A and B are shown apart, each in its own frame.
Chain A
Amino acid sequence: MKPSPRSSALAGAVLWVILALPPVRHVLESELTPQVLVQIPLLALAGALLARLFSRRLDTVMRLWNDGGIPGLLLASVAGMTWMLPRLMDASINEEGYALAKFLTVPLLVGVPVALSWPKSGFVTRGVLLLEVVATAFRMGWLYLVSPERLCSNYLLGDQQRLGKLLVAIGVVIALVLAWQLIWGRVRVESPQ
């Protein structure tokens, strides 16, 4: 059964608050891998869940500028790319202003636009985005693996390289799932909403 928009939004808000709790923050930010692979995706998920509450209201407002979901997904991509920069990830630990920016922009500028734009987007837009996600995982993984020095001054080189391996592995898994789905799976190609 699909949860109601209200309960989804509640779950999103709770998740947001939990992620902001100091002990949770401490655990997730103590190493680079959980910050990149757990904290930031969960913050985006919190935003996506919240978006369900006001998706209908926002939908009317945004119909004019979010044609085919492309502007929304572009916004999410740009915001997401910003939080891939090691310098910003470092700053979000050292300075409260950057931490606040992370906790606001990832849910609101990544999670919300993706949740609002994904249903509007067509097969081609989704395909380009998903392939870009796979390519970015490979590129970032490669970068973390070959960088001779620590990219974040708060984290160790070993942690950075572990993240690199995981990102490459994630890229491989997503690519295989996509390939399997397209070649043998059931794919519904519908006109965007």
Chain B
Amino acid sequence: MASLTLYPAEERLEGGSRVTFDLYMITAVTLFVVMMLIGLTMRMTQATWLNVNPALFYRLLSMHGAGMVGTASIATTAVMWFFLRKYVGLHLWAFVANYVLFMLGALCVIVSIFFGGYGALWTFLYPLPVHGMGLWSNNASALFLVGYLLIGVGSLVFYLDAAAAIIKVYGNLGRGLGLQWLFGGEINPDHPKAVVASSMVIIANSLGILAGSVVLVMNLVNIYYPQITLNALFAKNLTYWFGHMYINATIYMGVMAVYELLPRYTGRPYPISRPFIWSWAASCLFVIVVYPHHLMIDFAQPRWLTIMGQVVSWSAGFPVFCVTAYGAMTNIHRSGIRWTMPSRLMALSMFGWAAGIVPAILDGTVRNNLVMHNTQWVPGHFHFYLLLGVLSMVLALIYHVLGNRANAVPNSGLDRTGFFVYLIGGLIFTLAFLSAGHQSVARRMATHLPEWTLTDKVGSVGATLVVLGMLYYAIRIIVGLLGRPVVIDTSHAHPADTAG
């Protein structure tokens, strides 16, 4: 069971662990700000407030997509590492290797986009990378794909190290996931939720990375041997199997922060239960087979895959989400929780996750998908889910760590203002996307019709607020992480005693 001690000794970061964790988080928040600025530029271009030529727009769109997915992944990997290391013996070198490979991969992606002109978006859908039409070369596309391969290998090394550590303690990943308690038996109340979630992420995302490594290399083969042509639909299936799993894994890694930290802030235990184990087992299976909801408008897709995509879309997110959101609400209800930055961000993350998956379930229905999938409804969904859900989970952990180092739970007036600006901006920004989707405004377009620009302008205002909020968070976090920690033992203090 997760500890109720606010800052348990076994979580303290020292030496190389501290440096690496700080490096992950400082890199992540810095990249988030840069990627958000790129997003704001694109939104303002659509609103006709800025004049960015379409060739540059698609480069920025490629950078924003790849950059945000990669950054969300690296930040939530740090969340998983932070909690999982308490229960199993993770190697620091694997965590460092992931960071180094991520940075090398990111460098390849950045060079391919800003020096090579690559603009075939983060999804690199075959055969677009080889159709640069003079805007980018095949070498630029190849560099982009190699960057992805490096990032994927980094994740794989981290997952394999985590798998080895879980297997060493629990016997296999199934036991880490708690499958032995699905149909009976007394559940060990001390079985950590972080181990359950990590086992699920390792199983699902390793398969996704495997699919990605196949389709990435086959794209590379096609770049240099164009006579080898690929089945575009099959390549798209593999691409989305990889892409969907990779970005989905971020919320399953991020939510460990809620499982571990929420009970400390409410002062109430948050025990593991059979429904919890069932939900993670079900989601482990569903997340692997849900990806066809990205291909519902591909008329050549086998019918059974499309039907599976719809049925599983309705159920994939629900088990874990329902158990987590219900569990979180009952944990908070009448707990006397004092609202500080970490607890506030955790509550926001539950809201972001809850509200963010509703548009996805609507879009995962074939009839709706036919008219909505290529509209801004979809960016409305995933920005909601990532910006207010995943990112809030990451920020909750970082604020918690800042509190540990300062020996005072962060809750200053500036923090509260930053939170409010981020929340209001996030809501305006994402609802503008959803509203535009409702009006059938096409997505991924550099130039918008005059009738579409109202939601673009509203969205730009929201995005500006989000950037301001995130900029504050980033400065606050970087200064806080680099600052000297206060050395006073308050390991038994309740948040109510230390909130500043």
Are B230 and A131 interface neighbours, CB within 8 A? Answer: no
Contacts of A134 in B (CB 8 A): 210
Q: Say whether B173 faces chain A, with CB atoms less than 8 Å apart.
A: yes
Question: A143 to B229, alpha carbons, bound, how many Å?
Answer: 9
Are B163 and A127 interface neighbours, CB within 8 A? Answer: yes
Contacts of B179 in A (CB 8 A): 183-184
Q: Say whether A3 faces chain B, with CB atoms less than 8 Å apart.
A: no
Taking a contact as CB atoms closer than 8 A, the residue among A138, A182, A185, A186 that contacts B163 in the complex is A182
Question: Which residues of chain A in 130-147 are interfacial with respect to chain B, using CB atoms and an 8 Å cutoff?
Answer: 131-132, 134-135, 138-139, 142-143, 146-147
Number of residue pairs spanning A and B whose beta carbons lie under 8 angstroms apart: 78
Contacts of A138 in B (CB 8 A): 214
Question: A146 to B164, alpha carbons, bound, how many Å?
Answer: 37
Are A146 and B230 interface neighbours, CB within 8 A? Answer: yes
A18 CB, nearest partner CB in chain B, Å: 35
Are A189 and B157 interface neighbours, CB within 8 A? Answer: no
Q: Say whether B218 faces chain A, with CB atoms less than 8 Å apart.
A: yes
Are B164 and A128 interface neighbours, CB within 8 A? Answer: no
Are B231 and A146 interface neighbours, CB within 8 A? Answer: yes
Q: Say whether B337 faces chain A, with CB atoms less than 8 Å apart.
A: no
Q: How many A residues, CB 8 Å from partner?
A: 27
Are B160 and A184 interface neighbours, CB within 8 A? Answer: no
Query: Could you mark each residue 352-365 of chain B with 1 if its beta carbon is under 8 Å from any beta carbon of chain A, else 0?
Result: 00000000000000
Taking a contact as CB atoms closer than 8 A, the residue among B161, B164, B172, B214 that contacts A183 in the complex is B172
Contacts of A139 in B (CB 8 A): 214, 217-218, 221
A141 CB, nearest partner CB in chain B, Å: 10
Are B221 and A143 interface neighbours, CB within 8 A? Answer: yes
Query: Could you mark each residue 24-63 of chain A with 1 if its beta carbon is under 8 Å from any beta carbon of chain B, else 0?
Result: 0000000000000000000000000000000000000000
User: Given A131-B206, A135-B210, A143-B228, does the pair A186, B164 have CB atoms closer than 8 Å?
Assistant: no
Question: Which has the most chain A C-beta neighbours within 10 Å: B157, B172, B179?
Answer: B172
Question: Which residues of chain A in 165-184 are interfacial with respect to chain B, using CB atoms and an 8 Å cutoff?
Answer: 175, 179, 181-184
Taking a contact as CB atoms closer than 8 A, the residue among B164, B229, B231 that contacts A123 in the complex is B164
- Chain A residue at smallest Cβ distance from B166: A189
Taking a contact as CB atoms closer than 8 A, the residue among B163, B173, B174, B214 that contacts A135 in the complex is B214
Contacts of B163 in A (CB 8 A): 123, 127, 182
Contacts of B173 in A (CB 8 A): 182-183
Q: Say whether B213 faces chain A, with CB atoms less than 8 Å apart.
A: yes
Contacts of A22 in B (CB 8 A): none
Contacts of B153 in A (CB 8 A): 128
Question: A69 to B172, alpha carbons, bound, how many Å?
Answer: 24
- By size class, the interface of chain B is 20 to 34
Question: A132 to B157, alpha carbons, bound, how many Å?
Answer: 12
Taking a contact as CB atoms closer than 8 A, the residue among B164, B177, B206 that contacts A122 in the complex is B164
Are B160 and A182 interface neighbours, CB within 8 A? Answer: no
Question: Which residues of chain A in 112-127 are interfacial with respect to chain B, using CB atoms and an 8 Å cutoff?
Answer: 122-124, 127
Contacts of B228 in A (CB 8 A): 143, 146-147
User: Given A142-B218, A183-B173, A183-B174, does the pair A124, B161 have CB atoms closer than 8 Å?
Assistant: yes
Contacts of B171 in A (CB 8 A): 186-187
Q: Say whether A23 faces chain B, with CB atoms less than 8 Å apart.
A: no
Q: Say whether B156 faces chain A, with CB atoms less than 8 Å apart.
A: yes
Question: Which has the most chain A C-beta neighbours within 10 Å: B153, B164, B177, B218?
Answer: B164
Q: Say whether B203 faces chain A, with CB atoms less than 8 Å apart.
A: yes
Are B156 and A131 interface neighbours, CB within 8 A? Answer: yes
Question: A112 to B384, alpha carbons, bound, how many Å?
Answer: 54
B327 CB, nearest partner CB in chain A, Å: 25
Are A128 and B218 interface neighbours, CB within 8 A? Answer: no
Are A182 and B172 interface neighbours, CB within 8 A? Answer: yes
Q: Say whether B305 faces chain A, with CB atoms less than 8 Å apart.
A: no
Question: Which has the most chain B C-beta neighbours within 10 Å: A123, A134, A148, A149?
Answer: A123
Are A142 and B214 interface neighbours, CB within 8 A? Answer: yes
Question: Which has the most chain B C-beta neighbours within 10 Å: A124, A175, A181, A189?
Answer: A124
Question: Footprint of B on A, CB under 8 Å?
Answer: 122-124, 127-128, 131-132, 134-135, 138-139, 142-143, 146-149, 175, 179, 181-187, 189
Question: Footprint of A on B, CB under 8 Å?
Answer: 94, 153, 156-157, 160-161, 163-165, 167-168, 171-174, 177, 179, 203, 206-207, 210, 213-214, 217-218, 221, 227-231
The 3 lowest CB-CB distance pairs between A and B, nearest first, are: A123-B164, A127-B160, A183-B174
30 contacting pairs across A/B (C-beta < 8 A): A123-B161, A123-B164, A123-B167, A124-B94, A127-B164, A131-B210, A131-B213, A135-B210, A135-B214, A135-B217, A138-B214, A139-B214, A139-B217, A139-B218, A139-B221, A143-B221, A146-B228, A146-B230, A148-B227, A175-B207, A175-B210, A179-B207, A182-B203, A183-B172, A184-B174, A186-B171, A187-B171, A187-B172, A189-B164, A189-B165
Known: A127-B164, A183-B173, A184-B174. 12 other contacts (CB 8 A): A124-B161, A143-B218, A146-B228, A146-B231, A147-B227, A147-B228, A182-B167, A182-B173, A183-B203, A184-B172, A186-B171, A187-B167
